[in-house]
Amino acid sequence: MSIRVSWGDDARTLVHLQFERGWRWQDLRASIQQADALIGSVPHTVHLLIDIRRAGGVPADFITAAGDIFASGEARANEGQRVVIGASPLIRMAYASLSAVYAHKLKDRPFLFASSVEEARALLDGKR
């Protein structure tokens, strides 16, 4: 699989998803299930670090596939902030379009954006 899912810290307050070149939509769906299992395994808030710096772009049919993912399921009660690391201006623009359509799903937990893991952690420190 081209997306690795792991705890991002020893306290288990961060789940880190690391995308590698060649990932596909089924990889993302599987990694969401893995992240969901990690989040559900602890009682406290868990934030997501979604690192796409080495993703190599997005597979075809981005808007449809991303929309399907936004539309499916609900966040766990203990899911915290979601920070995307390394998103290009094009990805951020696509997110802005999708967030208008799925505002009801994103209003409480919009995606945040950072250029590095350190910046993402600093963003989260400001939100805690």
Report phi then psi at 49, rounded to 5.
-110, 115
The domain tally of the chain equals: 1
Give the sheet arrangement for strand 3-7, strand by strand.
3-7, 14-19, 46-51, 79-85, 111-114
Closest residue by Cα to residue 38 from 2, 69, 76, 81: 76
pLDDT confidence of residue 1: 64
Tens of each residue's pLDDT in the chain, 128 residues? 699 999 999 999 999 999 999 999 889 989 999 999 999 999 999 999 999 999 987 777 776 777 777 777 778 889 999 999 999 998 888 888 878 887 776 666 788 999 999 999 999 998 65
State the residue range of the domain holding 93.
3-127
pLDDT confidence of residue 36: 94
pTM metric for this prediction: 0.88
pLDDT confidence of residue 15: 98
What's the rounded Cα separation, in Å, for the pair 58 and 102? 20
Residues 6+ apart with CB under 8 A from 27: 1, 2, 3
pLDDT confidence of residue 128: 58
**Domain harbouring 77, CATH code:** 3.30.750
